Amino acid sequence: MPHPYVLLSAAVSLDGRLDDTGPERLLLSGPADFDRVDEVRADSDAILVGAGTLRADNPRLLVNSAERRAARVAAGRPAYPLKVTVSGTGDLDPTANFWSTGGEKVVYTTDEGAVTAAEALHGLGVDVVPVGPGLDWRAVLTHLHDVRGVRRLMVEGGGRVHTQLLQQGLADELQLALAPLVVGQPHAPKLFGDGEYPGGPRNRLRLIETRPVGDVVLMRYVPTAPGTGPVPSAADHRWLALACELAAECPPSRTAFSVGAVVVAADGTELARGYSRESDPLAHAEEAALAKIEPGDPRLPAATVYSSLEPCARRASRPAPCARLILDAGVRRVVTAWREPDTFVAAADGNGLLAAEGADVVVLPEHESAAKAPNRHLN
Ligand SMILES: NC(=O)c1ccc[n+]([C@@H]2O[C@H](COP(=O)([O-])OP(=O)(O)OC[C@H]3O[C@@H](n4cnc5c(N)ncnc54)[C@H](OP(=O)(O)O)[C@@H]3O)[C@@H](O)[C@H]2O)c1
């Protein structure tokens, strides 16, 4: 199911706290960083915070710059991004600033919480959307994408919301403003709570930018750990997009597909990458990538192979097709964008071969057009 691009945004102390325990909101950023946040908001289709943040901070969550609002309107967008909150109980204060400022608002809640929320917010024009007996984040993101047309979602906390989105592999990017202060209070809210995160405790996110903004440092990270089993994660999309980009590197051919492949360990470490005809005129992408990894590498059984095209199931040019090479390498998870058409081999079913031997195969059709792009000449 397509989701919006999910950007987690927070200001955080040197000891990883979002706030102190006092009644007033702790201001971690300065004016320059608040202005940066305003710009990120203006670029977003929707801004989401948890009900805990509404209660603690009573935020407005507006685009404050008149120029940025005007630019949004000139581009055919509403002046303010959609405001979104999540609540399990539906126990929401109708006098909060969130409801009386900005543009449209939506609450995602449980079936039970919807009754309470609809009563509390009656007459405020708020869309109350129940997503089931519990708060299912995938259902929330799918609804935002499909029904609300949200393509870029900025999540501004709090800790419980950030924690769940990162733990469930649903965050595409983290933007953290590291503030030069130490809170030191054991019960102050943490940015990320305890629990299991994708890739385990050794997973390293990829740093994509650092920049001083006033006296804070902006750090941007992207998660790297693949999803598990049949459930795709935001990192799966990123790695598959890379595989599709690699396909453009292939020496051209009229008699074979151009394909890219990446092999990634469970902790998000890239083990190898390859593309068709990289090492010799007959090499396939998955074969080229796997050949760069020591056979028996202990990371292979938990690794994921990303391939822009479904791994081949039959092959005249080599003794073993790529689906077999993947299984023989011990890999049990494959993410691909495009099912193999009948161009060279009729009814090839590499995905079926992989699945029949217990591998999880995830097809992400959102990347199909990128996977096909370097193969247009074969139509
Ligand atoms: N420094 C920063 O950038 C920043 C930004 C935002 C917030 N904060 C701070 O973060 C703190 C608030 O964080 P928080 O963790 O307490 O609250 P939160 O993450 O904002 O919201 C948590 C609430 O969201 C609902 N919720 C979230 N996930 C749910 C699930 N799976 N099932 C059911 N309900 C769910 C629940 O609402 P119900 O209780 O209604 O059921 C829950 O109490 C405040 O101190 C605030 O100042 C700091």
Peptide bond into 260 cis (omega under 30): no
Q: What is the CATH number of domain 5-222?
A: 3.40.430.10
Residue 41 CA, ligand 1 centroid: distance in Å: 19
pLDDT at 347: 80
pLDDT at 344: 83
59 pocket-lining for ligand 1 (C-beta < 6 Å)? no
- Residues whose CB falls within 8 Å of the CB of residue 341, separated by 6 or more in sequence, listed in order: none
Q: How many C-beta neighbours within 10 Å does residue 243 have?
A: 31
154 pocket-lining for ligand 1 (C-beta < 6 Å)? no
- Residues whose CB falls within 8 Å of the CB of residue 369, separated by 6 or more in sequence, listed in order: none
pLDDT at 345: 80
pLDDT at 317: 80
Residue 238 CA, ligand 1 centroid: distance in Å: 27
Residue 304 bridge partners (DSSP): 264
How confident is the model over 136-169, as pLDDT tens digits? 999 999 999 999 999 999 999 999 999 999 999 9
For 99, phi then psi, to 5°, come to: -80, -30
Residue 160 CA, ligand 1 centroid: distance in Å: 5
130 pocket-lining for ligand 1 (C-beta < 6 Å)? no
Class of domain 234-378 (CATH, top level): alpha beta
Residue 26 CA, ligand 1 centroid: distance in Å: 15
The answer to whether 179 and 219 have CB atoms below 8 angstroms apart is: no
For 28, phi then psi, to 5°, come to: -90, -30
pLDDT at 188: 97
Q: Give residue limits of the domains in the chain.
A: 5-222, 234-378
Task: Give every residue of the chain whose pLDDT is below 50, as ranges.
Answer: none
Asked if the domains at 5-222 and 234-378 fall in one CATH topology, the answer is: no
Cα 224–chain centre separation: 10
CA-proximal residue: ligand 1, atom 40 (nearest): 87
Classify the phi-psi angles of 104: left when phi > 0, otherwise alpha if psi is within -120 to 50, otherwise beta.
beta
The answer to whether 260 and 286 have CB atoms below 8 angstroms apart is: no
Residue 53 CA, ligand 1 centroid: distance in Å: 5
164 pocket-lining for ligand 1 (C-beta < 6 Å)? yes
The token pair at 99 is 């409801």
Q: How many C-beta neighbours within 10 Å does residue 363 have?
A: 17
68 pocket-lining for ligand 1 (C-beta < 6 Å)? no
